[in-house]
Structure 1
Amino acid sequence: MGVNHYPRVVSTSKIVLVTGAGSGIGRAIAVALSAAGHQVVAAGRTAATLDETVAAASGPGSIVALPADVTDPDAVQALFEQVTERWGRLDVLVNNAGIFGPTLPIDEVPVADWRRVIDTNLTGAFLCAQAAFRVMKRQDPRGGRIINNGSLSAHVPRPETVAYAASKHAITGLTKSLSLEGRAYDIAAGQIDIGNAATELTAGIASGSLQADGAIRPEPTIAADDVARLVVQTIELPLSTNVPFLTVMANAMPYIGRG
């Protein structure tokens, strides 16, 4: 990517890149970071939804939309180059882009759907983390923070969600590797595992979700804004402090004891 040493930026405001920022949790995080005074780069595949995120900004920070497909290595490289050319550094990457994929028994899942989920949820997160490492290692002051959006499915899968569950288990391994390799460069890497945040992705959960015993039961949800507040708090910690794993969930949802 040809990353050079970037000029020193002295500011309490951070440059934060949020992927999947056009809707749901990503939008909530971007808006909350803007409200906390940070400069947010909202990335996603659809320019129109990113524009809606920009319009929702509440300052004193701001949100800039940069459309990009995280599954495309060239697009990811171009995205990070735009960030460093414009702001000179990157302080935080929030790896949020993700899709749920098909809800089907494993023997009925099309290989194309499997690959689409893995490409978005895992490979996309890897490509963005790799690009962030290249910047954060060389910038001055050195270092930064990476937060991966995991899931309760990184610990316990829902029935008939093999691609999503596998991708989120793999995100845990990615997070641990980033955390280990980042120590030498003042890069703190962690993961937030979210249970039932109310978004377009989880719209059906409140009305009824397949359980391990085969029953369909509604589950409680939490506001995406609650998740966003935790992300804001995490990125404002000093880089000498890491939050390797954080779980936030609807208190009454069937997670403890699931299955």
Structure 2
Amino acid sequence: MSQRVLITAGASGVGRAVAEAFSEAGAQIWVADVDTQALSICPEGWRRTRVDVSDAAGISALFAEIARDWGGLDVLCANAGIAGPTALVEDIELDDWRNCLAVNLDGAFLCAKHAAPMMKAQGSGVMLLTSSTAGQYGYPRRAPYAAAKWAVVGLGKTLAMELGPHGIRANVICPGAVEGPRMEQVLAREAQAKDMTRDQVYRGYASGTSMGRFIEGRDIAGMAVFLASDAARLVSGQVIAVDGHTVNPDPKI
């Protein structure tokens, strides 16, 4: 039977690349996203649900629908996230802090909470949580994002320990700077905060890796498909960066 795969924030960006890669591998695809327009242009064979991952009732309803229509879930890709504010810690509003953690951390928790009993019942499953290289280093002017992504790492390692006895694996993927519209927004905000140009910030990010470049969504997708495959059957509790090897998490020009 083909894998049944749920990808949050799967209608565009990295999530869309992950969904496409699993689809090409023969999986059944269910994408959840807040972007109705992006959902509307997903392939017809994919299941699609509009939901905010920080909405507990919405996530509960999503998993009830998955249980009813699919009868189980083989792979959870908890990929949804937002950048949060770009500011010094003393200038960050509590509401902005909470909103960033709600999407990046609460969303991953809620999905894992509902996927766990489903996977336990079938005695198998894979959970892939998307963190960030910001979950491995400090990230000046991005305190809420870094805090959330570090917490996702802790969540992933704990899930691996709790669920391993039930035949369920959990791993965390840490993307670096990914080419695309979302990163362009980050570059623009950081350029303004640091009084630099967009190109200066871009070069700073690229030069902060040993390979000197940004990554693409397909790089994350390839790792996700591998980690969900039998080739990775004993890979669990790992935090794997796909980032061109970050050597300086806060590069300066």
TM above 0.5: yes
1:118 to 94, 101, 107: 101
CA distance in structure 1 between the partners assigned to 2:132 and 2:125 by the alignment = 23
Match of residue 66 from structure 1 = 49
Q: CA deviation at 1:230?
A: 1.5
**SS of residue in 1 equivalent to 2:43:** helix
Give the SS at the match of 2:10: coil
Residue in structure 1 matched with residue 41 of structure 2 by the alignment: 52
**Residue 234 of structure 1 aligns with which residue?**
227
**CA separation in 1, counterparts of 2:187 and 2:152?**
26
Number of paired residues? 235
Distance 2:64 2:29 in 1: 15
Identity of matched residues, %: 31
Counterpart-to-counterpart distance in 2, 1:217 and 1:22: 27
Q: Distance in 2 between matches of 1:43 and 1:205?
A: 23
**Distance (Å, rounded) in 2 between the aligned partners of 1:159 and 1:52:** 36
* Uncovered stretches (5+) of structure 1, i.e. residues with no partner: 1-10, 56-61
Q: Distance in 1 between matches of 2:215 and 2:101?
A: 26
* CA distance in structure 2 between the partners assigned to 1:52 and 1:199 by the alignment: 18
| Unmatched tracts of structure 2, length 5 or more | 207-212
Aligned to 1:127: 110
| 1:107 alignment counterpart | 90
CA distance in 1, matches of 2:190, 2:117: 41
Cα distance, 1:181–1:144 mapped onto 2, change above 3 Å? same
Give the aligned partner of residue 210 of structure 2: none
Provide the C-alpha distance between the structure 2 equivalents of 1:129 and 1:207, rounded to a whole number of angstroms: 33
TM-score by length of 2: 0.86
Deviation digits for residues 50-83 of structure 1 (CA, Å, limit 9, x no counterpart): 122336xxxxxx4211111111111111101111
Deviations 1:82-127 (A, max 9, x none): 1111111100100000000110111111111111101000011000
Query: TM-score scaled by structure 1?
Result: 0.84
Moved more, 36-45 or 221-230: 221-230
Q: Output the amino acid matched with 1:221.
A: F
Counterpart of 1:248 in structure 2: which amino acid?
A: V
For 1:159-238, what aligned pairs fall within 5 Å after superposition?
A: 159-203=140-184, 216-218=200-202, 219=206, 220-237=213-230
Query: After TM superposition, which residue ranges in structure 1, 4 or more long, deviate above 4 angstroms?
Result: 204-210, 213-216
1:136 and 2:130 are equivalent in the alignment: no
Judge conservation of contact 1:144–1:239 (CA < 8 Å) in 2: no
CA distance in 1: counterparts of 2:70 and 2:91, whole angstroms: 47
SS of structure 2 residue aligned to 1:156: coil
Instruction: Name the CA shift for 1:167/1:134 in 2 (closer, same or farther; >3 Å).
Output: same
Residues 162 and 108 of structure 1, relative CA distance in 2, 3 Å threshold:
same
Tell me the distance in 2 between the aligned counterparts of 1:104 and 1:93. 32
8 Å Cα contact 1:14/1:92 also seen in 2:
yes
Contact 1:16–1:39 (Cα < 8 Å) also in 2: yes
State the superposition RMSD in angstroms. 2.1
1:91–1:144 contact (8 Å) kept in structure 2: yes
Matched, 1:19 2:2: no
Instruction: Name the structure 1 match of 2:249.
Output: 258
* 2:227 equivalent to 1:246: no
Asked if 2 retains the 8 angstrom alpha-carbon contact of 1:196 and 1:205, the reply is no
Higher helix share: 2
Paired letter, 1:224:
G
C-alpha contact (below 8 Å) 1:54/1:65 kept by paired residues: no
SS of 2:11's equivalent in the other structure is coil
